[in-house]
Amino acid sequence: MSRILVTGAGGPVGRHLVADLLARGHAVTGLHHRAPPPRPAGDRHRCLQADLRRPLDPAVEADWVVHAAAVTHLDPSLTASDYARTNVDGALHLARHVERGGIRGVIFLSTLSVYGSIAAACLREDEEPRSPNLYGRTKRLAEEILLDLPADRDVLCLRLPGIAGPGDFRAWIGQALLALRDGRPVTLANADRPFNNLLEVGELGRLVDHVVREGAGGQHVVNAAATAPEPLGEILARMRTLCGSRARLVDQGRRQPSYWIDTGRLERVTGFRPAPTRIQVARFVHANPRPRDSADPTALPASA
């Protein structure tokens, strides 16, 4: 059993990680930005309210930190100052807390947005950034801050695609599922191109648990995604079958660049191989047995 501090524990990813890590036998402290935090779920669960834009209380102890707290591009009202204070200052305060405490390592939930506009057909970690947005730039800077920690602290920066989880329809796959279950047509581009641009939240939990138990073997930046890419059209057709939909899939052909994600470095560094795309997609569909409203049910992207 490890003691794990999860920042952003009230967010759509953090709350699932907390539950998953508790189920795997760890002692978890969830750090919540908003007060009051929720009631603990058991003896191994603590809930604390704290603002990472300020230094953390030295009394907050852990063996590992999973840094999931962030502001993202999904909120159009955010300013450059908002991104800097939360994503950059938050990483600085966390790094200082890790350095002065007995914390073994940090798993940072970064993002593929650090790359900006992706031109490569196969995305690897050495891809040069092309005009990343504020979210991507501040997450990249947070990576650099955490990688500056002393060499005896493990740091694993996970550059993540869209996270697929129960009740979370923000990523393209969630919008597609809502449309399929409503019987609405799903318009897509690049239907014949390989795709693995997702990570199911339970698979992320398995990855975190593996790293906490086995270590990260140093300080690394890796892409994380499903393995065994499949054509996007086949993925959507399988989702349609799984949810019993008769919705049309409208293929617009190859209209814009597309890419698949190479997870080879993740596998070499950690020894963890994520589940194949088809399995993770099926888990996501089965985790959402009924359609739920989205903020804009007509806002299905034309492509993934």
pLDDT per residue as tens digits for the range 51-61: 999 999 999 99
pLDDT(300) > 70: no
In DSSP notation, 181-225 reads: HHT--EEES-TTSEE--EEEHHHHHHHHHHHHHH---SEEEEE--
Q: Does any domain span residue 254?
A: no
3-state SS, residue 149:
coil
Higher pLDDT among residues 40 and 95, named by residue: 95
Domain harbouring 62, CATH code: 3.40.50.720
Q: Does any domain span residue 286?
A: no
d(CA 62, CA 121): 40
Q: Which residue has the tokens 């099926």?
A: 282
Q: Does any domain span residue 137?
A: yes
What's the mean pLDDT in 210-230? 98
For 8, the domain range is 3-160
Beta strands at 194-195 and 230-231: parallel, antiparallel or unpaired: antiparallel
Q: 122 has which bridge partners? A: 260
Q: Does any domain span residue 176?
A: no
Residue 280: which H helix or E strand, with range?
helix 277-287
Q: Does any domain span residue 27?
A: yes
What's the mean pLDDT in 110-138? 97
> Which among 30-34, 98-102, 205-209 has the top mean pLDDT?
205-209
d(CA 168, CA 180): 15
Q: Name the band, by pLDDT with cuts 50, 70 and 90, for residue 293.
A: very low
Helix residue ranges per DSSP H, 41-171: 80-83, 89-100, 134-147
Q: Name the band, by pLDDT with cuts 50, 70 and 90, for residue 290.
A: low
Q: Does any domain span residue 75?
A: yes
Q: Name the band, by pLDDT with cuts 50, 70 and 90, for residue 296.
A: very low
Q: 154 has which bridge partners? A: 105
Would you tell me how many other CB atoms lie within 10 Å of the CB of residue 294?
A: 16
Predicted local distance difference test score (pLDDT) of residue 74:
79
Q: Does any domain span residue 275?
A: no
Percent of the chain with pLDDT over 70: 95
Q: How many CA atoms lie within 13 A of 111 on its CB side?
A: 26
What's the mean pLDDT in 131-145? 97
Strand ranges in the chain using DSSP code E only, listed in sequence order: 3-7, 27-32, 45-49, 64-67, 105-111, 122-123, 154-160, 162-164, 186-188, 194-195, 198-200, 219-223, 230-231, 249-251, 260-261
Q: Does any domain span residue 201?
A: no
The region of weakest confidence among 60-69, 92-101, 211-220, 249-258 is 249-258
pLDDT(205) > 80: yes
pLDDT(292) > 70: no
At 143, list the tokens.
Answer: 């990576």
- Calculate the alpha carbon distances from 136 to 116, 130, 142, 230, 273 in Å: 7, 10, 10, 26, 25
Peptide bond into 231 cis (omega under 30): no
Residue 51: which H helix or E strand, with range?
none
How many domains would you assign to the chain?
1
What's the mean pLDDT in 194-205? 97
What's the mean pLDDT in 195-214? 97
Predicted local distance difference test score (pLDDT) of residue 295:
40
